A and B are shown apart, each in its own frame.
Chain A
Amino acid sequence: MLGLLAPTFVAVIAALCLKGSPRTLFTTRVRWWPAVLVAFAVELVLYNPPVNGQAWAIQVGPWIWLGTKMALLAALLRNAWPGPRWPWLVAAVGVALNALVIALNDGHMPQAAEAAIAVWGASHIDPTRLQNVAPMRPDTVLPWLADILPQPAWIPRPNVVSVGDLFLAAGVAGWVFGAMAPKPLVQRAGILT
């Protein structure tokens, strides 16, 4: 999880090194931010005790999770227009890819066992509680877009991520860099913020 935040930290440091300013970030609002925060709050409640052990949560939780992904996707697309503003579009592609795989695999993100073993030494999937990932099976749909990429061990709290996760992290980092970097540099690079 922390590995996905790392590109944004790098973007902040890079922009500061180029004499950028964080002021623009705080004066430019994230459109539909209430929807973003509500969607995330729903995920936090859903996948933590006591809700994640409830029978109803195990049954309908995956579809609620997919609903939160759609809300986040709508918010990202809202931020991409008028524009297009490509960092938001890249992030939206990431969430759309994740949502597609989740929708086609019964509301769970398939996780490759060999990648999980590479990161944690064993698979952590517990079928007695609601979890957002499920073991990858031979009939998994779009396995190449699932959680198949183990993060390196030197990253704090490494995880297994998907291609969509990488798009999402890169898009947000690109937006942060574009908003912070000096404007002449941003215009030369063609980053519309």
Chain B
Amino acid sequence: MRLFENWWERAPLYVRIGLFVASLVAIIVGGGADAYWE
């Protein structure tokens, strides 16, 4: 896990933006329990 986490800090800015947005959507949609995929 630490290997991947450290990679975040070495990644180009646009990759970090993409990872950030993907992580945020994954947390909210993945953690939520409303009906998929209405």
Are A47's CB and B34's CB within 8 A? no
Are B29's CB and A4's CB within 8 A? yes
Contacting residues of chain A (134-186) with chain B, CB-CB under 8 angstroms: 147, 157, 159-162, 164-165, 168-169, 172, 176
Are A30's CB and B20's CB within 8 A? yes
Residues of A within 8 A of B4 (CB): 33-34
Pick from A8, A124, A160: contact of B28, CB under 8 Å: A8
Complexed CA–CA distance, A147 and B33 (Å): 8
Which residue in chain B gives the minimum CB-CB distance to A25? B20
Residues of B within 8 A of A169 (CB): 28, 32
Are B5's CB and A147's CB within 8 A? no
Residues of B within 8 A of A160 (CB): 34-35
Interface contact tally, CB-CB below 8 A? 127
Are B35's CB and A147's CB within 8 A? yes
Residues of A within 8 A of B1 (CB): 32, 34-35
Are A72's CB and B30's CB within 8 A? yes
Bin the interface of chain A by size.
Answer: 35 or more
Pick from A43, A116, A131: contact of B30, CB under 8 Å: A43
Residues of B within 8 A of A168 (CB): 27-28, 31-32
A8-B24, A35-B1, A37-B23 known; A29+B31 contact, CB < 8 A? no
Interface residues in chain A, defined as those with a beta carbon under 8 Å from any beta carbon in chain B? 1, 4-5, 8, 25-27, 29-37, 39-40, 43, 47-48, 68-69, 72-73, 75-76, 91, 94-95, 98, 101-102, 109, 111, 116, 120, 124-125, 131-133, 147, 157, 159-162, 164-165, 168-169, 172, 176
